[in-house]
Structure 1
Amino acid sequence: MTTQENVRRVLDWAVAEIGVPGIVAEVKDGDQTWFASAGVADIRTGAARRPGEYLHTGSSGKAFTAAVLLSLEAEGRLSLEDTVNTRLPGVLGTNGYDGDKITIRHLLSNTGGLFPTGLAPEVSHRYATRSGILEHRFDTFTTEELLRIAVSQPPVGAPGDRFEYANGGFHLAGAIIEKITGNTYAEEVDRRVIQPLGLTHTRVRPLDDTGYPAPHPRAYSTLFLKDGADPSTVTPENWESLMEEPGQPPLDVTEFNTSLAWSAGNVVSTTGDMIHFVDSMVTGSLLPPAQHRQLWTTVSTEGSYWMPHARYGLGMFEFDKQATGGRTLRGVGGSLWGTWFLAVGTPDDQHTIAVHTNTEWKSWDLMFKLIEAEFGVAIGA
């Protein structure tokens, strides 16, 4: 069976077995590219998914934030070892955070000790239930609100002690970009990443945007707590037990204000553009060599509730070589209501796969099956 056939079987499995409405995969292998899909872009009409769709890439946008800050470092306008207080005086002066000890590197590597931002009551009470989503789906978050939420709960550890996935660290990073440059975060991403790479179908989503250019799939969510569950009781340990039972009808969340994500992941793109972006970040064609090495100076994610068998660089991940049999596989990923995106590539032969589902993350098995089908690597086996 060919690689393409293996990938297509995984796509069909995702639709048939784990409840994905529609899924696409685009692959670049040397000079060859190909595309496959399964399921539908629109449950109501039955329209098929297609190449060139505009997608929300979720936390993949963290890599764009890292790229901008590394570009600024290359110009000598900052150092990754700068503390937050150096660049944003006083922002971390609450709830036990020490802005004199948390550095830009800590923010970009999720090692600053910030709590998981999605567990903040200001967030969970708006979006944890179906009724909450319907009431708050068009809420707009300002930078000031995001920075306040980032430190609204106490630290989970000391700076540099361990990995803990926290959107708030990237919101601080976005604010640092704006403070140093005097431009908006979106303008700097466009100037330093999107334009140099020619990503003509990519942009940071505007603050008040709630839709997508055509063509795009509908977005469907089933990521809700059970009726009566208190969002304030959710922890990284118990969240799965509090979720709705499987089999509930999906909620169409295509029209949604995602300003909550901002510099932690609010990039709209296509699978083709994201393959080009990931290639540039994995192979080192966008950043100078010194910054490329910084990007891929990784920390272990072991012991966290994030992706297994991985190490984290600056806004991007690398699979642990012990889990890949020594092969280097690097990429980005992200999930938000109604969307899950993954792009993984190799630094040696520019072999990259980009995958999108029009529902949020369902299972690590989907990612691992796709990696095995495309690269012949059984993660963790």
Structure 2
Amino acid sequence: MGVTTLLLSAALAGPALAAGPATGGHSGDGHVATRRAIEAAVRAGVPGVTATAKDAHGTWSTTAGVGDLGTGRPRSTADRYRVGSITKSFVSTVLLQLEAEGRLSLDDTVDTWLPGVVRGHGHDGRRITVRQLLNHTSGIYSYTADDDFGRAYFTKDGFFAHRYDTLTPPDLVAIAMKHKPDFAPGTSWNYSNTNYVVAGMVIEKVTGHSYATEITRRIISPLHLTATSLPGTRVTVPRPSSRAYSKFEDPAGPSYDVTHLNPSIASAAGEMISNSADLDRFYSALLRGKLLPPQQLKEMKTTVKIDGAPNTRYGLGLMDTTLTCGVHVWGHDGGIHGSASSAVTTADGRHALALNFNGDWAGDTNAVINGEFC
């Protein structure tokens, strides 16, 4: 995975390795390579890792490193964490459910539901479909690529000055509309967080409820995802949880605690909080057809090429990655301040893995995924 998360660079030094015990229904011998990859991430500089896998043998969880650099408290297998762009799979699922109910078509234009919202500097919502939002072929500029936004939220000084700002979805879209589109709709692919902010706005227009309300009603509650929430403007992470750390512009510099932030800057593109067990349950249910009819699941798994990523293709809020051993896994990854996560499952939904690093500058989630499935 790793295509859509923030870029992780290797740290020069990290905390001493502290591996937590494995727990679950069997000895964990089948997860030796997974554990080694997790321990390697901590040696590379990640403060701590938590992971849970579910397969035919049962559920297996493990941790390594620390959840709090100040106290040395270890990570917990039950840790809740910010999952970033994994939120996109939930948003896409809701829109596909609405399509199955006949309440919209993925081939509706954005302007069908949000007239005039996507307009400016060449952007035109009359030429962009909901499907193109979900598979990132819309050409809409990503607001997170805006230089002013980057200085305000992704630099050390900017973050600590603006970490509690509230931004609305229209605010985020307006930032994107100051720029030209990346390309004409449907002619290429580029990952744009604006696509999913707009998708969340479409959900609200169609249903009369926020995307958070619809995700909760349609996915979180039926699947009993008790650790999963959409915090809106709440700046804290529910317990149990670890601290989250960033080095911002200097991967060789000190680590800063960035646990508290207003996730409205991510909106429907990445505000969600969850834990590894819940993410395993969600992706397993999704791929096993528990959340979508066959036609909509087929649409979700219809992928497009990602330039520069020959082993990964993008569907509708869902990535198909071919691992080093040829196994295909479906899922998503996500990065937000102090947090890098991945959650994947096999096509039959019977073998799932979700993991989180509580640092955003080091480590390799791909290695952990390959360790588990290869």
TM-score (norm 2): 0.89
Match 1:309 to one of 308, 311, 317: 311
User: Would you say the 8 A contact 1:20–1:358 is kept in 2?
Assistant: yes
What are the superposed Cα offsets for residues 95-146 of structure 1, whole Å, 9 maximum, x if unpaired?
Answer: 1012121000000001100123211134112023211111011111112202
Report the counterpart of residue 290 of structure 2 in structure 1: 285
Report the counterpart of residue 15 of structure 1 in structure 2: 42
SS of the aligned residue for 2:352 comes to strand
| 1:296 and 2:288 aligned | no
Match 1:210 to one of 218, 223, 235: 235
Match 2:105 to one of 79, 91, 95: 79
Mapped partners of 2:61, 2:40: distance in 1:
17
Distance 1:21 1:173, change over 3 A: same
Moved more, 161-170 or 112-121: 112-121
Report the counterpart of residue 369 of structure 2 in structure 1: 371
Distance 1:362 1:300, change over 3 A: farther
Report the counterpart of residue 41 of structure 1 in structure 2: 67
Report the counterpart of residue 166 of structure 2 in structure 1: 140
Distance 1:325 1:52, change over 3 A: closer
What are the superposed Cα offsets for residues 24-72 of structure 1, whole Å, 9 maximum, x if unpaired?
Answer: 1111012511111110000000001112111111000001110110011
Mapped partners of 1:126, 1:342: distance in 2:
26
Report the counterpart of residue 155 of structure 1 in structure 2: 181
Report the counterpart of residue 328 of structure 2 in structure 1: 328
Q: Shift in Å at residue 222 of structure 1?
A: 1.3
Moved more, 346-355 or 88-97: 346-355
User: Would you say the 8 A contact 2:143–2:172 is kept in 1?
Assistant: no
| 1:268 and 2:268 aligned | no
Match 1:29 to one of 55, 68, 79: 55
Mapped partners of 1:190, 1:362: distance in 2:
32
The amino acid that maps onto 2:276 is T
Report the counterpart of residue 89 of structure 1 in structure 2: 115
Moved more, 26-35 or 119-128: 119-128
Report the counterpart of residue 146 of structure 2 in structure 1: 120
User: Would you say the 8 A contact 1:122–1:149 is kept in 2?
Assistant: no
User: Would you say the 8 A contact 2:327–2:373 is kept in 1?
Assistant: no
For structure 1, list consecutive stretches of 5 or more residues without a partner in the other structure.
225-243, 377-381
SS of the aligned residue for 2:340 comes to strand
Q: Shift in Å at residue 180 of structure 1?
A: 0.9
Q: Shift in Å at residue 283 of structure 1?
A: 2.4
Match 1:257 to one of 262, 282, 296: 262
Q: Shift in Å at residue 326 of structure 1?
A: 4.6
* Aligned Cα root-mean-square deviation (Å): 1.6
- Equivalent residues in 2 for 1:53-64 (5 A)? 53-64=79-90
User: Would you say the 8 A contact 1:59–1:333 is kept in 2?
Assistant: yes
Mapped partners of 1:221, 1:9: distance in 2:
24
The amino acid that maps onto 2:350 is Q
What are the superposed Cα offsets for residues 140-159 of structure 1, whole Å, 9 maximum, x if unpaired?
Answer: 11122022123221111111
The amino acid that maps onto 2:332 is V
Mapped partners of 2:76, 2:42: distance in 1:
16
Report the counterpart of residue 247 of structure 1 in structure 2: 252
Mapped partners of 1:111, 1:122: distance in 2:
24
Mapped partners of 2:203, 2:349: distance in 1:
33
TM-score (norm 1): 0.88
| 1:344 and 2:344 aligned | yes
What are the superposed Cα offsets for residues 192-237 of structure 1, whole Å, 9 maximum, x if unpaired?
Answer: 111121212211112x20001111000000132xxxxxxxxxxxxx
Q: Shift in Å at residue 325 of structure 1?
A: 5.4
For structure 2, list consecutive stretches of 5 or more residues without a partner in the other structure.
1-27
Distance 1:198 1:262, change over 3 A: same
User: Would you say the 8 A contact 2:80–2:275 is kept in 1?
Assistant: yes
Match 1:196 to one of 222, 230, 248: 222
SS of the aligned residue for 2:172 comes to helix
What are the superposed Cα offsets for residues 308-345 of structure 1, whole Å, 9 maximum, x if unpaired?
Answer: 6200011110014xx65553211111001100110111
Report the counterpart of residue 233 of structure 1 in structure 2: none
Mapped partners of 2:74, 2:177: distance in 1:
43
What are the superposed Cα offsets for residues 210-266 of structure 1, whole Å, 9 maximum, x if unpaired?
Answer: 001111000000132xxxxxxxxxxxxxxxxxxx3x320111001111111111111
Number of residue equivalences: 347
User: Would you say the 8 A contact 2:246–2:361 is kept in 1?
Assistant: no
Mapped partners of 2:176, 2:362: distance in 1:
26
Report the counterpart of residue 248 of structure 2 in structure 1: 223
The amino acid that maps onto 2:160 is L
Report the counterpart of residue 171 of structure 1 in structure 2: 197
